[in-house]
């Protein structure tokens, strides 16, 4: 498809109705007259440099962990070279985002939400604190192996510019943990946000959940599992029905259909099954399969409205994955909306398009949903300047051509 042409996303499945959470949601209160805590710079310059070095070490270690499990055959050597070239082409944008992440006073890094080593989250704050803000909990992708909270920095920065707090969750990756550990960590992180975000200026009655790629799979598993617990009367620390909306970006929701596809893409079957705790666990961690189980039918009514975004030229996880999940949700009475972007790849929606700046249909759609009932915010959105371009167009076009994703 010609990248010069503006394309409107194809939309199917259901109305995009605004979801109103329960008025019974208990909200933590501050003493009368107190104001939300201002995000503040928590580290000195030297400590910021040290933190940057530690984060770089972690990213490098994750890369070598991935290579150790995947092996160094021709396929992965060629992909590694392509990944290096891809990253170099996008480096002008990555450097700007990295500077923001490590040195901006609007970012609070590595807030502890649990007792595991990776139980940390980053908070991205708007520049003003004039009242409680809506909150997006974001779960990043990474093939279940190299997911990391800093991957959400670009999204966090751009949503914060529209008066939205973003909490980017980290979680145990393989081989630190397997899929059940990842789902447990994400659920615990969501619980932390629900029970503590008011202390950071967020509105616990306006929390949205979003996942990208493997993060969309993990977060949808956590959401469905919580709805099942809620429907059976189990003790819970957060409520699936109190999530305002769920946004799934380029996710895979049926592991049974992904085994061979991922194998052919280089995530070999033996590794995939190790991550997912064996072949017998694939249906358990496949939301598109599990939602059809008659024994959990009551859980579907507790799910929030769900919007699934996918590019039709996504070869990492084909758009059929979102189409099938939307169809399964609709059949059990949930509220899905499917948005397909013609010609968009796995990384176009999450990386290249945001780095391009200007108009972004995906970003605009998410903002419109979050601010749907806030006339003042919608008016500000209408007057907002175009988003800044971070990478020159020729570099973006070359990066798209050589992307290994």
- Residues catalogued as catalytic: 213, 314, 346
DSSP-assigned beta bridge partners for residue 165: 135
CA dist list (Å): 393 to 108, 109, 396, 397: 31, 31, 5, 6
Q: How far apart are the first and last CA of the chain?
A: 17
What is the C-alpha to C-alpha distance for residues 398 and 140, in angstroms, rounded to an integer? 24
Q: Assess contact for 341 and 310: CB atoms under 8 A.
A: yes
- Residue carrying structure tokens 């990776």: 118
Would you state the torsion angle of the CA atoms of residues 156, 265, 222, 132, taken in this order, to the nearest 10 degrees? 10
The length of the chain, given as a count of residues = 405
| Tokens of residue 312, six digits | 């039709």
Helix (H, G, I), strand (E, B) or coil at 133: strand
Query: What DSSP string describes 186-226?
Result: HHHHHHHHHHHGGGGTEEEEEEEEEEETHHHHHHHHHHHHH
Q: Which strands form 243-249's sheet, in the order they lie side by side? A: 10-12, 336-341, 306-311, 243-249, 202-212, 133-139, 165-169, 120-124, 107-112
Q: Is 178 left (phi over 0), alpha (psi -120 to 50) or beta?
A: beta
């Amino acid at each position: 498809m010609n990248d010069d042409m503006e394309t409107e996303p194809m939309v199917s499945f259901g109305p995009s109705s605004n979801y109103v959470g329960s008025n019974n949601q208990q909200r933590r209160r501050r003493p009368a007259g107190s104001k939300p805590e201002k995000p503040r710079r928590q580290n000195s310059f030297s400590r910021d440099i040290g933190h940057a070095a530690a984060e770089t070490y972690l990213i490098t270690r994750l890369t070598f962990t991935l290579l150790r499990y995947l092996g160094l055959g021709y396929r992965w050597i060629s992909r590694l070279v392509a990944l290096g070239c891809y990253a170099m082409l996008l480096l002008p944008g990555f450097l700007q985002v990295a500077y923001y992440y490590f040195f901006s006073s609007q970012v609070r890094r590595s807030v502890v939400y649990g007792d595991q080593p990776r139980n940390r989250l980053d908070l991205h704050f708007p520049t003003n604190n004039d009242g409680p803000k809506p909150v997006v909990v974001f779960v990043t992708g990474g093939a279940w192996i190299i997911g990391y909270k800093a991957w959400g920095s670009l999204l966090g920065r751009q949503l914060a510019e529209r008066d939205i707090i973003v909490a980017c969750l980290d979680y145990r990756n393989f081989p630190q943990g397997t899929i059940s550990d990842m789902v447990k960590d994400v659920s615990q992180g969501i619980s932390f946000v629900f029970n503590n975000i008011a202390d950071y200026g967020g509105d616990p009655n306006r929390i949205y959940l979003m996942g990208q790629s493997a993060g969309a799979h993990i977060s949808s598993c956590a959401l469905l599992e919580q709805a099942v617990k809620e429907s059976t009367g189990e003790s819970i620390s957060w409520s699936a029905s109190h999530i305002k909306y769920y946004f799934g970006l380029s996710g895979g929701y049926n592991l049974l259909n992904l085994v061979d596809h991922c194998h052919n893409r280089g995530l070999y079957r033996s590794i995939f099954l190790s991550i997912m705790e064996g072949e017998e666990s694939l249906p358990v961690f496949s939301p598109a399969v599990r939602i059809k189980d008659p024994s959990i039918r009551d859980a579907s009514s507790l799910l929030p409205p769900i919007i699934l975004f996918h590019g039709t030229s996504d070869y990492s996880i084909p758009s059929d994955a979102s189409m099938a999940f939307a169809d399964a949700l609709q059949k059990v009475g949930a509220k899905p909306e499917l948005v397909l972007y013609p010609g968009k790849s796995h990384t176009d929606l999450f990386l290249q398009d945001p780095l391009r700046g200007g108009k972004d249909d995906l970003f605009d759609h998410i903002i419109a949903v979050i601010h749907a009932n806030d006339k003042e915010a919608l008016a500000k959105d209408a007057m907002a300047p175009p988003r800044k371009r971070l990478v020159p167009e020729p570099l973006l076009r070359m990066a798209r051509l050589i992307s290994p994703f």
